[in-house]
Amino acid sequence: MKHSYAALFLITLSVFLLTSSGHLDFTDEYMIFFQAESLVLNQSPAVPQARQHDIWYGTEGVDGEPHAGFGLTHPLVIAPFYGLGKLIGYSPGIPVRSRDLIHYMAAIGSSSFFAALLVCLFHLVLSRLGVSPRISFTASLVLAFATPVWPYTGTLFSEIWTALLLLTALAALERETRQEQGGILPVVLCGVCLGLALMTRPNHGAAFPVFGLALLLGPGSTTRRAQRFLLLGAIGTVFLGTTMLLNYLEFGDPFQRGHPGWVEGGKIISDFLIPTPLHLGLYGNLFSPGKSILLLAPPLLLALLGLRLLWRQRKPIAIACGGCGLTYILIVSRHSQWEAGYSWGPRYLLPVLPLLLVGLAPLLRKGERTWPRRALVFLCLIGVLVQLPAVFTSSFEVQSRGGYYDANFDYMLNHNAVGEQWALFLHYLGETFQGRVLEGPLHRGLDLWSVMLLKDSVPVEVILILLALPAAMLAGGLILLRVSLKTLGNEKYGNTSLG
């Protein structure tokens, strides 16, 4: 069974790395990158580079320097990847002018790494819920390539990181609420993961009461359940207090998190002080052609059916998955910028997408009807087709051309994200067949880091060396997959029943 996890990790990580954009498009990405860079070079959260590059989204700190409007947990885990990029950037053969591109590529590689971990963890959770190893392996590939997870591996947004934290919290909850296998450590792990998500973006604090309710309705005595609930609450309080203390030290105000209160075009926002009407946000997140989570993640349609069965069989897990999904969509739909700025699909809902897809578990268990597996294959094919153009071309290129925001910088609900992205992809695919793949500006055309480095005149030999590592990982993953296929169909856990 261990071979299957290693194979899954290597295969998904290699594909994510090979198809990554390797560059930054969005202001949010630059701010997170600048934070990681400052932590490595200056051991400071300030981002003076923002003024130098004339890209700043944040607030001036008590030190008089510009600070970003994001928490420090995500930049902290990116910092080692940035450090690796610094080392690679000084390697022989890489032009001085291309070093910044190498730094961006290395930092974005963190998203691929976290996404590969996310997919492996999803494989583990489904297996613990009674899905056979072979089917859970396949379903994990669905999460990897038939949902917005794949396009977001080419960005530096924090949503992949927080999705990993929430799914880790769910795995800990599953361990705690399984009969005779609970304990204090799973609750602590659950609380720490939720706390780190809270420190990344405050709205993730909404997951604490949902997971707390799941613990209250779990197995065991009333005293045990109350103790677990209070422990989770205490951990949440510590992380909330730490966040407020850091806010005070950085901005002189415990309630100031660095957001300037404006977005594109100087549009004023204040989160829930100027909320979006709930019906408008719900329509946008569920049914609009550009932001519908049902359209951008088709396997979710099947998973929602399975949540009802999950409720009957493992109520605490169903509460955490369905409760977080419902809570997040209600919060995001009331957000003054519910569309999440320039981004592919419903970015703010990405962290709870793996939780919702856990609803596939009771439908995919061995011995159940076969139609859910056939339906999942069909929905997976649609999902891959939806993601492909956003992987190989830049969604920002489409959105910045117009038709995304109106003159007041309000999102246009008729924006056809998939259709327009496919049109761009086919256009650049045609140019590629005509031998014009290297024409055009650096951040236009096929949105692959290898193409970008070729445009920047990085020697082909250097690019081939950089390609060799993910290619070797892919080969190793396929070899391990071949070994694991011999046992995936027969291997079982000692205790994987949903009941």
Residues 6+ apart with CB under 8 A from 168: 121, 189, 193
* In the chain, domain spans: 2-398
Q: What global pTM score does this model have?
A: 0.94
List strand residue ranges (DSSP E) for 38-138, in order.
58-60, 66-68
**How far is it, in rounded angstroms, from Cα 53 to Cα 104?**
14
User: Which of these, 85, 41, 63, lies nearest to 49 by C-alpha position?
Assistant: 41
Q: What is the pLDDT of residues 97-111, one digit of tens each?
A: 899 999 999 999 999
- Ranges in the chain, pLDDT < 70: 1, 179-182, 264-274, 366-368, 487-499
Q: What is the pLDDT of residues 261-308, one digit of tens each?
A: 777 666 666 555 567 899 999 999 999 999 999 999 999 999 999 999
Supply 402's token pair. Answer: 């117009």
Q: What is the pLDDT of residues 49-84, one digit of tens each?
A: 988 888 888 899 999 999 998 889 999 999 999 999
pLDDT, position 499 = 40
* Residue linked to tokens 């795995």: 171
